[in-house]
Amino acid sequence: MAIRTILHYPDPRLRHKALPVAHVTPEIQKLIDDMAETMYAAPGVGLAATQIGEAHRIFIVDIAAEDEPSHLMVFVNPEIVSTDGSQTGAEGCLSFPGVTEDVKRAAHVSVRAQDREGKPFELEADGLLSVAIQHEFDHLDGVLMIDRVGMLKKRIIQRKMQKRAEA
């Protein structure tokens, strides 16, 4: 396992659309392990492969609190089957260090994916898990949290991140 470099906005690779994983191979499983090590080291609750420059439709999520055992969830070739309701809450992103903004998301999501072994599964999620799934799923399509805030907040975030990139 290895800690990978997380891409920060405005890196153009964050806008690339990820490609489906044909087969879960040992190389894909190693990528998933690297992603987990990277996410935990950051620390974060989710990470998409595109955030480390890998154009695969893979993301991971672990919303366990610090006093709870880790519960890593792996989503390979995820599909959001349905959404319901609405919730707005503070969201951060490892590609936007130090930025937290209120983002409107569905309150409930149904997702279909494969696990780290390539076995299909379906999941219903609410609350933080629902938000994390939607956030990471967006990354696979090149959609960033900055795309889900108002124009004024978007400009403020862009300036903050540009200054960070120049430092």
In the chain, domain spans? 12-166
Give the Cα separation of 97 and 70 in Å (integer).
23
pLDDT at 89: 95
Residue 136 annotated to the active site: yes
Q: Which of 54, 91, 101, 136 is catalytic?
A: 136
* 8-state DSSP, 56: B
Spatial CA neighbour of 6 closest among 92, 76, 73, 104: 92
Average pLDDT along the chain, 167 residues, taken 10 residues at a time: 94 97 98 98 96 98 92 98 97 95 97 98 97 98 96 93 84
pLDDT at 50: 98
CATH among 3.90.1150.10, 3.30.200.20, 3.20.20.140, 3.90.45.10 for 12-166: 3.90.45.10
pLDDT at 164: 85
pLDDT at 65: 87
| CB 74 within 8 Å of CB 58 | yes
Contacts of 33 (CB under 8 A, 6+ apart): 1
